[in-house]
A and B are shown apart, each in its own frame.
Chain A
Amino acid sequence: MTTTTVAARQPPRRSLGGLPRMIALRLLTIPLVLWALATLVFVALRLLPGSPATSLAGGGSTDQSAAQLTANAAEISANLGLDKSLPQQYLIYLRDLVTGDFGSSYFGGNDVLGLIGNALPATIELTVAAMLIAVVLGGVTGLWAALRKDTWVDTTTRAAATVTFSLPWFALGVLGIVVFGVWLGWLPVIGRVPNQLSYQPLTNFVLVDAMLQDRPELIWPWIQHLILPASTLALSTAGFITRIVRASVLEVLGDDFVRTAQMKGLDENQVVRRHVLRNASLPIITVLGLQFGTLLGGSTVTETVFSYPGVGVLLVDAVLQRDYPVVQGAALAIALLFTLVNAAVDILYLVLDPRLGES
């Protein structure tokens, strides 16, 4: 058995022991991150000037005296449990969270989970659409620029990427509305699905519902409504992805195994497809995960500009009203989404790179 001693040096199969363990460890960090975020939101809200009680107390009639207002506010505070000490409020808040009780809106009493269930799918649709656009646009231009390094293609692409990269979403959104919505009249600029289609949400993902309810006529208007906000949101991320893709591809192109691939007689396309892309995608994927967070942040602005009924709009309105349960719920929903995406990215990375995931 002389061969086995030599073979012992080389584990021929990927030892799977390490991989599931690392994935499990990665998943374990999610609750920790969420708890930290919940705490942060809780503290930040209480640091904001103004309280929900005063905005509620002033909400009804206009001719209350200052004393009445204060009295009302105190009573409302007590009802909402806001007269308790901050640590007490914090503990109650955490206890409710753990039991899945997100509370209800101070204004109108809507269940927070219900509100989020309506708004979050819209935001996910918007962000995913934006991500797709950004990845395709940024990926193609970044790859092209890298393969044509130092030519006019490269220079132009990089300049364009830098410009989009620094454009504010708000300005882009308004520009899009004016040009494509108002001047050209090509695209709808408001909302998600036209009212006259009487969309009856089930999952609140239009694409899923269109299939479940067998209503294909929903899809095209839905896409039309997505194009402007998603493109607006995608543009700056696309510019960023262009730069990352270009840099990663250039780095991999300088690696020795690319020369090996050329030595084998592969043409440029084969070298890129079979050897460069997968290796270059490793650093890109990490960046995409982080960019997803940027897109979620940007969706707040974009949703507001396009009156798009997502979590961003929900959050902004709730902050303005100091609607604590809604703010906390919406912020956590966004955080959960972001954390899940990043965990997925890290796990994907472990799976894609055989050098990782081994002890």
Chain B
Amino acid sequence: MSETVLSIRDLKVEFDVPSGRLPAVNGVSLDLRAGELLALVGESGSGKSALTMGLTGLNRGPRTHISGTADYRGTDLVAASRKQLQTIRGADIAVVFQDALAALNPVQRVGKQVAEMIRQHQKISRADALTKAQTLLGDVGIPNPQQSARAYPHQLSGGMRQRVMIAIALANDPGVLIADEPTTALDVTIQAQVLALLKRMQAEHGSAIVLITHDLGVVAEVADRIAVMYAGRIVEVGTRDEVLNSPQHPYTIGLLNSMPRIDGPRPRRLAAIKGSPLSGVKRPDGCAFAARCEFVHDACAERPELAQRTAEPDHLDACFLPAEAKSAALRAGAA
């Protein structure tokens, strides 16, 4: 087992909203291992962005309450001062945002935007930073990097812009790269290219990557491990094969069943999970998924902790139901 770069314990991110305090992240514990690609999967609104923005402090503000701990190589990101976070951001933890067009400064050439990231954390001349930026742009697959560095974001295609974002994020070889739905805004062929790029960069830069997505299909090819998030909590985490081949939580099963398959037998229908995700400020004492769960029983009135419930030591889930009942359901869904 490799070293842990980021160790999250009981992290909560809550927002003051008109109706009260919204627990967007409701007690998450998760370890990120050096150099791995962890896919963080969950329906929109499950708190994936709130979790990762909470780690970087990018959603700090008077209406945000963050508690718990997030240990990055000895620094607790939750308790870190703004100054501390500024030295960590960009150098140790970087983010690729979903909408690259909005995330890039519209009136600045992209080469300069990459160079800025380099100069913020390395002692290097302006000219050298720009040369390095051009090299990085070439590395992420942008053609004619010298010329492209002079382009403004709107002059590039969506895929190229996202490559620029990735070049920015990787500029200082961060220990952790968070990619928040980096391909959602792109069309399918470009999506695959960008994912392949992330996978390649993971190896070349040695960064651990948290790849956020609401689409399990996206991660099947690239993820080392998968964490499934529901209503602000991790409901299941394990290696890619564990989670995809023997999912333990009914929510994971539901997500898998609603995935169109190209390889295996086609589901009769896209078995979308019935009901809608929790979004209000009130949360049940017990399992948050109970209201939508076809296996719900008395035990679910109590909150199931994320724990090892199978023979696999790395495979954790938060469901009381015995494994046999669930694998039967999985077969039924895939039939």
Q: Which A positions have Cβ atoms within 8 angstroms of B?
A: 3-4, 6-7, 9-14, 255-257, 259-267, 274-275, 278-279, 282, 352-355
Contact = CB atoms under 8 A, between A and B. Distances in A.
Kindly name the residue among B88, B117, B148, B165 whose own CB sees the greatest number of chain A CB atoms within 10 A. Answer: B117
A190 B56 CA distance: 60
A259 B98 CA distance: 12
Nearest to B141: A6
B152 A355 contact: yes
Contacts of B99: 256
Interface in B4-55: none
B147 interface: yes
B87 interface: yes
B150 A263 contact: no
Contact of B120 (A266, A278, A354): A266
Contact of B86 (A255, A257, A265): A265
Contact of A279 (B90, B94, B97, B106): B106
Interface stretch (B70-78, B153-161, B207-215): B153-161
A352 B86 contact: no
Kindly name the residue among A4, A13, A256, A263 whose own CB sees the greatest number of chain B CB atoms within 10 A. Answer: A263
Contacts of A7: 143-144, 147-148
B97 A256 contact: yes
Contacts of A266: 86, 116, 120
Interface string B79-114: 000010011111100110101001111111000000
Kindly name the residue among A3, A12, A262, A355 whose own CB sees the greatest number of chain B CB atoms within 10 A. Answer: A12
A262 B89 contact: yes
A265 B83 CA distance: 9
A12 B97 contact: no
Given A11-B155, A256-B99, A262 B58 contact: yes
Nearest to B105: A257
Contacts of A255: 102
A263 B90 contact: yes
B199 interface: no
A274 B116 contact: yes
B144 A264 contact: no
Contacts of B309: none
Contact of B107 (A11, A256, A353): A353
A12 B148 contact: yes
Given A12-B147, A264-B116, A266-B86, A256 B155 contact: no
Contacts, number: 100
B151 interface: yes
A12 B151 contact: yes
A267 B87 CA distance: 9
Given A263-B89, A354-B152, A256 B102 contact: yes
Given A260-B104, A279-B105, A354-B107, 12 more contacts: A7-B144, A7-B148, A10-B157, A14-B152, A256-B97, A260-B97, A262-B58, A262-B89, A263-B90, A266-B86, A267-B83, A275-B108
Contacts of A257: 102-106
Contact of B117 (A3, A10, A264): A264
A256 B49 CA distance: 14
Contacts of A282: 107
B109 to A, nearest CB: 8
Contacts of B117: 264
B63 to A, nearest CB: 11
B157 A9 contact: yes
Nearest to A255: B102
B155 A12 contact: yes
Contact of B91 (A260, A265, A267): A265
Given A10-B156, A352-B107, A354-B107, A263 B102 contact: no
A67 to B, nearest CB: 73
Nearest to A257: B105
B227 interface: no
A63 B107 CA distance: 73
B172 to A, nearest CB: 9
Sort A-B residue pairs by CB-CB distance and give the 10 closest, nearest first.
A265-B90, A12-B147, A256-B102, A265-B89, A264-B90, A3-B143, A354-B152, A7-B143, A257-B105, A256-B103
Contacts of A352: 107
A3 B144 contact: yes
A15 to B, nearest CB: 9
